[in-house]
Amino acid sequence: MEKVAVGKCDSYDIETLKNFFHDGFREVGFTAVHQKVLLKPNLLSGKSPEQAVTTRPEFVRAISELLLDSSCDVYIGDSPGYESTEKVLLKSGIMKVAKDCGLKILSFNKKITKKYQGISPYREFILGEEPGDFETIINLPKLKTHVMMGLTLGVKNTFGFIHALDKAKWHLRAGTDKMIFASILIDIHNIVKPSITIVDGIIGMDGDGPGSGRVRNMGLVALSKNAFVLDRYIEQLAGIPFPLPITSKAKEHHMVPDCETINVGLPVSFVDDFQMPGTMDTNWNLPDMARKVLKNVFIKKPKLKKGLCKGCGVCTHVCPAGAISINEKAVLFDYKKCIRCYCCHEMCPEEAIRV
């Protein structure tokens, strides 16, 4: 039986976190000594730690110090949505941790072809880094909502192994079918095979995340060697009445075994008014034919918030369907092309796009 270690944690105090990780590792049976280790945080975009968009620097520092005490060779990397890895590390506060701890930085800009026969229709995946180069991969997602997939947790976080410019291609292949995209994310996760996943849910995000939702004090840290059971546990803790697309597809293929939950420290008391994205009300679980017919009527569209757009053009670059253009007066959306992936909302640095 898989194990999930979970506890209430209201602060990013380094020693408190180190004690939690130490005890949690023991409970789930995880060790890393004299190993080459890769830390994979959530580096979605260059936002300050208080905005709850990226994994907190204190989280990275605590785990790094434990690994260095165990004589590990520690690397850190991710591929952000449109900015450089170094820029996001700097804005998120993690660059200082990397320099203080002597972590080696990876930008995930290689072209590593992996042949894999999983559950998606695709058999070839190009990663920005070779997972097999590391004896241990530690997955460090941020607990956030996601306007397309519901939540960003352990399985979704490994999508960062895909280079920024290639992420849009996978969105385009999946189109409006969330279950296809979920199967793609699951295959990528199973190729990466992180050794352990640790969710930073002390300060997280609900509402229309993952880049501009509502910052919440959630007081949660949870870890497991199995990201599928960890994701499902957090969905249930948040009171979501049905499995979200990734968990639903994983359960369909028997990837979500039973688990034992172990309290580390104080029992968790999750927020009682957790808000899912508004897109999930109308864009989840529609039959294929109904989704096609009702797409332009009921499924929420990305729209511009007046007065916030600075015309930077990020939305045009990240839109996989080429559905956005900019003229001298406005940002224009072609809803006939739009596949409702909401990448424009996710990556807008000015939070100028709503759904």
The pLDDT value given to residue 280? 77
DSSP annotation of 244 reads: -
Look up residue 216 and give its amino acid.
Answer: R
Alpha carbons within 13 A on the beta-carbon side of 38: 22
Return per-residue pLDDT of the chain as tens, 355 residues.
999 999 999 999 999 999 999 999 999 999 999 999 999 999 999 999 999 999 999 999 999 999 999 999 999 999 999 999 999 999 999 999 999 999 999 999 999 999 999 999 999 999 999 999 999 999 999 999 999 999 999 999 999 999 988 999 999 999 989 999 999 999 999 999 999 999 999 999 999 999 999 999 999 999 999 999 999 999 999 999 899 999 999 999 999 999 999 999 888 989 989 999 988 755 545 555 555 554 555 578 999 998 999 999 999 999 999 999 998 778 999 999 999 999 999 999 999 999 9
158: which 2 tokens?
């490994």
**Do the strands 142-146 and 150-152 form a parallel or antiparallel pair, or are they unpaired?**
antiparallel
The pLDDT value given to residue 329? 73
- Residue 230 in contact with residue 143, Cβ under 8 Å? no
Contacts of 243 by beta carbon, 8 Å cutoff, 6+ apart: 232, 235, 251
Look up residue 208 and give its amino acid.
Answer: D
Residue 161 φ then ψ, to 5°: -70, -15
The pLDDT value given to residue 284? 47
* CA separation for the pair 37, 181 (Å, rounded): 28
| Angle, CA 246 vertex, CA 245 and CA 248 arms, to 5° | 60
The pLDDT value given to residue 290? 52
**Burial of residue 166 (number of CB atoms within 10 Å: 0-12, 13-18, 19+):** middle
* CA separation for the pair 238, 207 (Å, rounded): 13
* CA separation for the pair 17, 323 (Å, rounded): 44
The pLDDT value given to residue 281? 59
DSSP annotation of 208 reads: S
Q: Which of 265, 157, 302, 271 is nearest to 205 (CA)?
A: 271
DSSP annotation of 282 reads: T
27: which 2 tokens?
């409970």
* CA separation for the pair 307, 320 (Å, rounded): 25
- Residue 210 in contact with residue 145, Cβ under 8 Å? yes
205: which 2 tokens?
């995000």
The pLDDT value given to residue 330? 85
Q: Where are the beta strands (DSSP E) in the chain?
A: 2-8, 36-41, 73-77, 104-106, 112-115, 124-127, 136-140, 142-146, 150-152, 196-206, 214-224, 259-263, 303-304, 324-326, 331-333, 353-354
What DSSP string describes 287-344? Answer: -HHHHHHHHHHHS---EEPTTT-----HHHHH-TT--EEE-SS-EEE-TTT--S--HH
According to DSSP, the residues that pair with 197 across neighbouring strands are: 139, 224
